[in-house]
Structure 1
Amino acid sequence: MTVHLLTGGGSGIGAALARRLLARGDEVILLARDAGRARQLVEEFEGASTLVGDLAVPGRLSWALSKQALPERLDSVVHAAGVVDLGPVVDLAPAVWDHQLAVNLTGPAELTRLLLPVLRVSRGRVVFVNSGAGLNAHAGWSAYAASKHGLKALADSLRQEEAEHGIKVSSIYPGRTATPMQIRVHQQEGREYDASRFIDPESVATTIVTALDLPDDAHLTDLSIRPTGAR
């Protein structure tokens, strides 16, 4: 059985992917920030299991995972968790930067580092769900875009470093997607939210599944996805 570990599996793109993988009989492990959230995820996603670790506190991930039984096999790690707080540089306090960099960049880097030994055994795949903001930064998006630009750099370096171990690394860059995060973005932008204008999370999940299912003689490195008719 193919085994996947997902972050951000409780919402949006991650939830769509978790359901897709469970429906076809794959084993899915969902990262939960605490024990209470882990119980909620197990109830919501029948057949899934959990590991507890908070991406917002990267320095505690090693300790948290050391207290739990890690899977003996891991075919993929999919990083779909993320947070966003918009605002001009003049208004962004260090805590806003720290939180986004931790969840969106340092946490994924540390989690990947801790899981590399088991990923190497199965010559697995790492998929980073990045963002269009990881390729282009706009006014008001500095902290989030910086974290996502950093995530691209992480993926590019990891791809070269781990090629000798057979690990394949993919970056997916969705444009605006109809998720709870997008609702928060619109609230921060002061704009009306219309889900029909954006990508369905299922469409992004389809792209991720494609990356996961490619034969071993190929892997998807970078792929941008945009809403139909997007500017």
Structure 2
Amino acid sequence: MALHFLTGAGSGIGEALATRLVDRGDTLVLLARSEDRAHVLRERFPGAATVVADLAEPQRIAEELARQHLPERLDSLIHVAGVVDLGRVDSLSVSSWSWQLGVNLIGPAELTRILLPALRAATGQVVFVNSGAGLRTSPEWSAYAASKHGLKALADGLRAEEAAHGVRVSSIFPGRTATPMQQRVHEQEGRPYDATEFIDPESVVTGILTMLDLPRDAQIPELVIRPGA
């Protein structure tokens, strides 16, 4: 029975992943940004442990987690949480840049740093749920894409650094997926949203589980998922 530390379990890909992991008998530690959110997660996933820290305030994560119980061994750390705020470079505020970079990049980097001893102890794995925007960008996507390009760089550097410790590092790059985030994007773009036009979160989860379950003689450094024909 594996132990997974998961962010973003409250909705979308993260919720679908947490459900699949629980259904197969794995154990979860879920990150929540507040005590209220932690209560919601515990009700949704009975038996899961929760810890509270806000990825939007990466400078406080270590202090917050130091007061809480963290596992000494961890089979995986899976970064799913993310935020998006579209806008042109000539109009996007510093606070929007800071929010997206904090939640999507700096927060995950700090959380990874804190949990690396537990991952090394179990020769575990780090999975970064990135985005197609981590490989390319478009008008009004500069800040989000910058955070996701940075997340790819973080994963690549971490993979090279942790190879000696036996810790695998994987990135998955889903195309547009039917999640609440995608609905928000459509609202910002001023377009109608139809979930049936996009990748089902369960398909992305299948890719993540394939990365986790691959025998230890191999790893999947990167996996790109695109909508079917």
Q: TM-score band, normalised by the shorter chain? A: over 0.9
Q: Distance in 1 between matches of 2:98 and 2:155?
A: 20
Alignment of 1:71-90 (within 5 A): 71-90=71-90
CA contact (8 A) 1:22 1:47 kept: no
Partner of 1:133: 133
Look up the SS of the partner of 1:5 in the other structure. Answer: strand
Amino acid at match of 1:3: L
Partner of 1:147: 147
Partner of 2:159: 159
Structure 1 consecutive aligned stretches of length 4 or more whose deviation exceeds 3 Å: none
CA contact (8 A) 1:120 1:165 kept: yes
Partner of 1:109: 109
Amino acid at match of 1:203: S
Q: Distance in 2 between matches of 1:181 and 1:18?
A: 17
Residues 133-167 of structure 1, C-alpha deviations (whole Å, 9 max, x = no match): 00001011000000000000000000000000000
Mark the runs of 5 or more structure 2 residues left unpaired by the alignment.
none
Partner of 1:170: 170
Q: Is 2:39 the counterpart of 1:47?
A: no
CA contact (8 A) 1:130 1:148 kept: yes
Amino acid at match of 2:94: P
Amino acid at match of 1:195: A
TM-score (norm 1): 0.98
Aligned-pair CA distance for 1:72: 2.1
Aligned-pair CA distance for 1:34: 1.1
Aligned-pair CA distance for 1:177: 0.2
TM-score (norm 2): 0.99
After TM superposition, the structure 1 stretch with the greater mean CA deviation from structure 2, 215-224 or 105-114, is 215-224
Aligned-pair CA distance for 1:47: 2.2
Q: Distance in 2 between matches of 1:18 and 1:95?
A: 30
Q: Distance in 1 between matches of 2:65 and 2:29?
A: 13
Q: Distance in 2 between matches of 1:191 and 1:227?
A: 19
Partner of 1:95: 95
Aligned-pair CA distance for 1:73: 1.7
RMSD: 0.6
Partner of 1:57: 57
Amino acid at match of 1:58: P
CA contact (8 A) 1:55 1:102 kept: yes
Q: Distance in 2 between matches of 1:113 and 1:35?
A: 23
Partner of 1:9: 9
Aligned-pair CA distance for 1:51: 1.0
Mark the runs of 5 or more structure 1 residues left unpaired by the alignment.
none
Q: Distance in 2 between matches of 1:133 and 1:56?
A: 20
Look up the SS of the partner of 1:91 in the other structure. Answer: coil
Q: Distance in 2 between matches of 1:131 and 1:160?
A: 21
Q: Distance in 2 between matches of 1:206 and 1:134?
A: 20
Amino acid at match of 2:203: S
Amino acid at match of 1:20: R
Partner of 1:223: 223
Partner of 2:208: 208
Partner of 1:32: 32
Look up the SS of the partner of 1:173 in the other structure. Answer: strand
